[in-house]
Each structure stands twice: as C-alpha cells, then as structure tokens.
Structure 1
Amino acid sequence: MFSRFITYSVSLFFSLTMFTISFPGRAEALTNIAEYQQIKGMIREPLTLSVMLNNGQPAILDAFVTRPVSKKPLPVVLITNGTTGTAEFDRWTLNPNRYSSTAIAFARHGYAAVVVLRQGYGQSSGAAEYTGHSCIQPFHLQAGEQDVQNMVAALAAVRRNSWASADNAMLVGMSAGGFAVIATGATNPPGVKAVINFDGGRGAIDGKSLCDKTGLMKTYEQFGKIATLPSLWLYAKNDKSFPPDIGREMFNAYQQNKSPARFIVMPPYGKDGHVFMDSAPESFWWNTVATFLEQYHQPFQEIIKLPAVNLIEPSALNAAGKTAFSGYETTQRYEKAFATDPDGDWGAAYWARNSQEAAATALSICTKEQRKGAAKCNLYAINNNYASEKVH
C-alpha cells in the first residue's frame, strides 16, 4: 500500500443554478439547506445579496449565513474574503464556505455570521478591486473605496432580514478582506460597533516588501484620521504575506490620529500563519477575540456547543490517511467529504460550495492518487455523516 498525502482541497465547480431572483436591497436565502452541514441550534444557508451600490449600480454578492435559531434579531458579523490576486481562482474556485469555521465560531457565541464575497469573487458580480491595477500602480485608496461600497451595501441587505439586528454589527476580514474592513470601518457606518482585522493588508510581494508601500501607508493614515470605531488587528508570528513587523507598520500609520485600536501578535500557525482565520481551529484565536468583544460589550460567551462527531476510521488507511481522517473528523471547514478505497488510498475535500461538490472533489482526489488497477474509490463520509448507512 503506497503512502498518500493529500492536501486540503476546495471545490473546483461553479454552477449558475445557485443564483436566485431577488430584489435590490434584499437578502434571499437559497432553498436546499440539506446540501449543507447543519448543527443543532444553528441554521446554515446560502444567500444571494441583491444590492444597489452607492454609485447607482446594481450588484449581486455571493454570501452564506450561519446563525443561532432565534426569534429575536441577532447582532451581525459580516465576514469578508482575502484574495490570491489571481482572477481565475478568485472567480471560479472561491466560495463563502472558505470561512465556514470562522462563521460557526461567531454563531456559537450568539451572532448571525454572514460571509460575503466582494465583487469579482465567487459568484459575486462585477470585477475585483484589483482589476486593472498593477504592482507599480496598485491604487490602494481606490480599492478601499470599492470595498466600502460592497461592504456597506451588503450590510444594508443583511439587516433587512428578521434575524438580523438593525443597529448592532461588526466587520471581520482576513488579508485583503482585513484591508476592506479597516477601510469600511473608517467610514464609521451607523450601527457598526467594532472591526476585527485578521492579517490584513494589500500588495504583499515576498513577505518583506509591498507594492507601493508609501501609498499603502498613506492610505492607512487616511483611514485612521477619520476612524472612530474600535478595531483589533491580529497578525500571526509566521505570516508569510504580512509578517507582524509589516502589520505593525500599517497599524502605526493608521494610529497616528490615535483611533481606538489594538495590535496583537498571534502565535505561529502551521507553515504559514497568514491563513489562521480560515484554517486554524477556533481554540487558536477565539479567546483573544473574546477579550476584545467583552471590552466593547459584545456577546462573547458560548451559547451553542458543538456536537461530538463519532465517525469510525476506515480500516485500511495508512499512517498518513489516519492523520488526515482524524483532522477531517474534528474540523469545521464545511462543506467537506472523505473518500477511500479498499487499499487505503484516500482523498479529502474541504470548503466546497455544497455537499455534492465536496463529494465529487474527494472522489476525484482519491482516484487521482490510486495505483494503476486499484479498486474503485467510494465516498466514506460527507460532512459529519457516513455517505451510506453501512459503515465500511
């Protein structure tokens, strides 16, 4: 039996059938929630946000909500995405479930957590904020202006839902999304209470330099001059895109007007801490965030416990497969699937748009890694359930 090592995978599929018809300013839920892992006490479902931007242009924003079951409006956490700067990946591969574990963490503590992909990402309409820019001319301020339009419009649409508070929200983002929420928070949107920036920035080159660093620092300085909302800036010690020293420079530029902000260096995570918001377990970062939330009188205590997942490990897995399955069982990176064959070859998929895509991706990975003539790969688990009633 060969040793196989499969890295985390995202879905490679895109379907226009996921769109629904909706009216400007509304957030419409898509119907088939059976396609998504459900957790007792929570609701997880996709949204299409049909909005009107403040430049008078309509837009559709790809989104997903994770929220406690509640008859009362819930404080909103609007979570937004980072970028690879590669249009093909950002458009065809990225989907809101990339941030499922982050959304679940906030929902477990009392929030309606809405992941929203800005224009040009996933199934959101329009072009990304970096379109037409280059490293020589990254136009940081203009990118921030587009981010603000997207985030403000998304928040207005979300607030029209009965489950969303009209006057209590937070903005959360990682990487380019961290830059986006700092830009948006600087406009002091009504009802937004705080901003959390996970490893945020723009124009990373090699972890040592930035595209138009002078312009980026001036942009942060401009944001800081008008910002009044409290913000938390978190940078992993081993971030390979924006190491803490660079993060601190952006923070210091923002802080020249003494806006209420706090900078924290997080422990190293994995091989590249830049991804800790979407990849690390909740336990890695929640206590730090909870301290900030408590300081500003926002919910921070657990109201929903995660259920224990008790999947029996496939019998034929080798050492690498056993490690992978253990990680699969515990992670909240939905939508996910695990496939294997009788010889112990395997494939795991995470962050798919729905359960069907996760299943297809896991099977594809398992099949690709098989020896010639090996028995057919079969689905073993989809999300936290066996793919069939029979345990193999």
Structure 2
Amino acid sequence: MGSRVWSIGLSLICALGTLHSVAHADPVGGTRQSEGLQAPAFGQLPGAADPTLPVVDTSLNETVIRVPEDDITLQTTVFKPDGNGPFPMVVFNHGKLPGDSHNQPRNRPLALAREFVRHGYVVVVPNRRGFAESDGNYAGSGCNVEANGYAQARDVAATVAYMSQQPYVDKAHIVVGGTSHGGLTAIAYGAHDAVSAPGVRGLINFSGGLRQDECEGWQKNLTSAFGAYGEKVRLPSLWLYGNNDSVWQGALAGQMYTAFTEHGAKAQMFDFGNYKNDAHRLVGDRDGVQVWWPRVKAFLAQIGMPTSVQYQVFEPHAPKATGYANLDAVTAVPFLDESGRAGYRNFLNQYSSRAFAVSNSGAWSWAEGGDDPMSVALASCQKQSSDPCRLYAVDDAVVWRDSSGDTQTASR
C-alpha cells in the first residue's frame, strides 16, 4: 500500500512534507489531482532572477548545531546565505508527529528555508526538548494547551537568545514563526518570552494549534489557550490557515483567531482556501511557497523586515526529458509487474510535483509533494532493491534513458 506521511498536531500530524514509500499500491481512479500550481521547474531559478546576484549553493550552507538551554542542548539546524552578515533571522518551529517525539526526525523545512535564504535571511530551526536528538523530554502538560505552549516557548526563547549573539545574525531584525504545534509555540513565545528579545518584530503562525483527541473538549482548550495568549501578545502576527485543513476542521480556525484578537492583539488572518488535498501540508510543500510567500512578504514589509531578493538559489535539479515514451504509457515503464503498473497509474493521478523511480529488478516507488520528491522516490525504491534505482518520470516528463546504466540522482 502507498503511505502518506504528513505532520500535524498530536494525534494526526505539521507540515514536513508528503512521503510515499510503496512496495505495492492500489491505483487511484479519476482525474489527476491538479490545481494548476506552477512551482519552478526542478533545477531552475524562480522568476526572473537578477543574474548579477551572488549564488548560494543548493545546500543553503546547512549546518547542525547545539543550542544550550539550562542543563540541556537543542539540536538545531541553521541555513544561511554566504558571507559574514549580519543577516536578519527567522526562527521556525516544527510540529509534532504521533508517538515518541525522540523518534521524530530532525526538522528540515527546505522549501521555506530556500525562500528566506533567497531574501537574505538566516533560517534557524530548533528541535525543541525531547524532539529528535535534542536533550530532555517532551513537555506535554497533559490537556492544558496554554501551559504546553509556554513550555515549548522556553526553547524558542533560548534559541533566539543564543543565535542573537552570533556575529552573522542581525539581532535587531528577527521574526519567529512555526507550523501546527510550532505555530502555537510561536504565538505562546510572543505572549511571554518575546519581551526579553526587543529585536523580534513579529510572529508568523502557519496552521497553528495542538490537537488532542484524547482530551475531552480539546477544541475549547485550544481556543481558550489562544485567548489567553492574545491578552499578552504585543507583537503583530500573521495567521495563515486553509479551508480543507484535515486538523482544524469547520469553524475552528476562525474561533481560535477570534479568541486571540478579541482582547486587542494585533493580528492578520489569511485564509488561503483549499490547498491540494490538505491545507495542513502547505509549508512542507515546495508548491506551497507561491501561496504563502506573497502574504508573508507583505507582512515582513509592514514590520520593518527586509523583503528584496539578495541571492540566487537554485531548486533541486531534475534530469532532462528524454522522449523515451509518453508519460501516460503505463506499459512502456520497464521492469514492472502488474502491481508496479498499478503503482504507476497511481502516480499519474497525483499532483504534478512528483517523481517515479524503478530498478532493473522491478523495485519501484513514487513520491509527491514535499521539497524534493525525486530524492524521496529514489531512496524509497532503493530500500527495496539491491540494483540501483533510477528516475523514470519527474513532474510531467519521462526522463528514463533506456541504455544508461548510471544511477540518476536528485541534487541535494
């Protein structure tokens, strides 16, 4: 069976992207799920980039550091432009996957990081205590959502304080944001800890909240928590929520926003409508940048943060189309048995940011969405095969070379 892995609140999942790792998959019938999203082609620069601007490597100068907090350290990922800075900084907070938080992978919001680095920002992504390889244990606070947010915000405060002392960070131009549980955390940070960091100018909440299905009245707990934060937050904030969010259904997002603003908190709500099959995956998707960046850019300008493009940053690179076969020619895909052909039909029904990989031994996998489905498809295929896996199709093009024995890989 194909499996989608999304990240959101507690019992569901926060946008780390969509992953498909398939050994067998049932075909999805009907029209291909496409909303006309036009992300930059793999390997291309978005828009009309100024060729005179310096180029940042596709690695985005990614490093992993340890941020000290009391007697523990937090595993933290840093993406940055080339040079000494100082650069404005965005601290971005992850959501929570189900299960043991230490089993949650290090958060790498590549699509978001790429866009901010393009505009000259340092992007800092702390894994909060108890997550991934950060020390300590998850601060859950039971069903008390307000206390949970404040506990998570301690780690944000430690990260802002530590990074503000780094010579390449402009400590007078900082914004704090997050998605899902991280969005709630960002708002909680603004309600208590932001006062100690005068350089923090605003908060960005992507589909924020904490879903606790095991707690009676969890929706009321969540709304009340945002109401309590709203009494104390003095920073402006931008809230971005979609209509077809699998986590915050119905009127809940509007209720959270109303509770937050009814005591005078300065906030803007942007309802971006439907996004693919789940609005909760927006930030983890490379396609989502075109939806959220224009509104985020306007907000950054309002709070005195820079918004001009400072660097050329290339997208992940895809092989060129080969003309080996028509994309829809299922029987042309080599080495597949019937279950593999069913999997390829399933692939054809996905959104257009997608990749299909296959090996000579018949292993196969496809991936859709996220930042780089090519790498995901190749890695998932390789787990099932002793032979090298190669990309057969990327987006709407067949890239297979019948005579090539070389492995095609996505740049990373």
Residues 64 and 313 of structure 1: CA distance in aligned 2, closer, same or farther (over 3 Å)? farther
CA distance in 1, matches of 2:216, 2:270: 21
SS in 2 for 1:83: coil
- SS of the residue 1:123 aligns to: coil
Q: Distance in 2 between matches of 1:74 and 1:389?
A: 44
Residue 308 of structure 2, aligned match among 301, 304, 312: 301
**Are residue 140 (structure 1) and residue 145 (structure 2) matched?**
yes
Normalising by structure 1, we get a TM-score of 0.72
Q: 2:99 corresponds to which residue?
A: 86
Does 2:269 align with 1:263?
A: yes
Counterpart residue number, 1:163: 168
Letter in 1 for 2:19: S
Q: CA deviation at 1:42?
A: 6.8
Task: Map 1:57-68; keep pairs closer than 5 Å.
Answer: 57-68=70-81
Q: Would the alpha carbon gap of residues 198 and 244 (structure 1) be closer, same or farther in structure 2, given more than 3 Å must change?
A: farther
Distance 1:277 1:319 in 2: 27
Is 1:289–2:296 an aligned residue pair?
yes
Residue 5 of structure 1: how far off its partner (Å): 5.8
Structure 2 Cα separation of the partners of residues 220 and 115 of structure 1: 23
**Secondary structure of residue in 1 paired with 2:61:** strand
* Change in 2 beyond 3 A, CA 1:70/1:339: same
The structure-2 alpha-carbon separation of the partners of 1:158 and 1:359, relative to structure 1 and needing over 3 Å to count, comes to farther
SS at match of 1:157: helix
Post-superposition CA distance 1:201-255 (Å, at most 9, x none): 123549xx97444333332222111211000011111001113621111111111
Q: Per the alignment, in what secondary structure is the counterpart of residue 64 of structure 2? A: strand
Shift of residue 167, structure 1, vs aligned partner: 2.1
Any conservation in 2 of the 1:5–1:320 contact (CA below 8 Å)? no
1:82, distance to aligned residue in structure 2 (A) = 0.7
- Mapped pair 1:154 → 2:182: no
Match of 1:334 in 2: none
Q: CA RMSD for the aligned pairs?
A: 3.6
Per residue, is there more helix in 1 or in 2? 1
1:61 counterpart letter in structure 2: L
- How many Å apart are 1:287 and its aligned residue? 0.9
Name 1:273's counterpart in structure 2.
279
The answer for the alignment partner of 1:14 in structure 2 is: none
- Of 229, 233, 241, 2:239 maps to 233
Matched pairs, number: 326
Is residue 40 from structure 1 mapped to residue 50 from structure 2 by the alignment? no
**3-state DSSP class of the match of 1:267?**
coil
User: Could you tell me which amino acid in structure 1 is paired with residue 105 of structure 2?
Assistant: L
In the TM superposition, what whole-angstrom CA distance separates every residue of 1:113-165 from its partner, at most 9, and x where no partner exists? 111111111111111232x62xxxx1112212211210000111222322211
Report the identity percentage: 22
Instruction: Between 121-130 and 192-201, report the one with greater CA deviation.
Output: 121-130
Aligned residues of 1:49 and 1:154 also touching (Cα < 8 A) = no
Distance 2:351 2:257 in 1: 39
SS at match of 2:135: coil
Mark the CA change 1:148 to 1:6 in structure 2 (over 3 Å): closer, same or farther: closer
Describe the shift of the 1:211–1:291 C-alpha distance in structure 2 as closer, same or farther (beyond 3 A): same
The aligned residue for residue 327 of structure 1 is 353
Give 5+ residue unaligned stretches, structure 2: 5-17, 22-54, 325-332, 335-343, 395-399
Give the SS at the match of 1:149.
Answer: helix
In the alignment, residue 194 of structure 1 is paired with which amino acid? G
Residue aligned with 2:123, SS: strand
Per-residue CA shift, 1:76-134, capped at 9, x if unaligned? 100011113422xx32242222x12111111111210111111111111111232x62x
CA apart distance, 1:362: 4.3
Name the structure 1 match of 2:211. Answer: 203
Q: Which residue in 1 is equivalent to 2:130?
A: 120
Listed one character per residue, the Cα deviations across residues 307-330 of structure 1 (whole Å, up to 9, x for unaligned) are 36341368646555678897357x
Q: 1:297 to 1:41 in 2, by over 3 A?
A: farther
In the alignment, which residue of structure 1 is the partner of 2:68? 51
Using the alignment, how far apart are the partners of 2:375 and 2:268 within structure 1? 42
Q: Aligned to 1:96, what secondary structure does the other structure show?
A: coil
In structure 2, relative to structure 1, the CA distance for the partners of 1:43 and 1:288 (3 Å cut) is: same
Q: Partners of 2:3 and 2:236 in 1: how far apart? A: 41
Residues 60 and 114 in structure 2, CA contact (< 8 A), matched pair in contact too: no
Aligned to 2:43: none
| Corresponding residue of 1:95 | 106
Q: Deviation string for 1:163-204 (max 9, x for gaps)?
A: 211222111101111100000012233210110000001235
TM-score (norm 2): 0.69
Task: Pick 1 or 2: higher relative contact order, CA cutoff 8 A, min separation 6.
Answer: 2
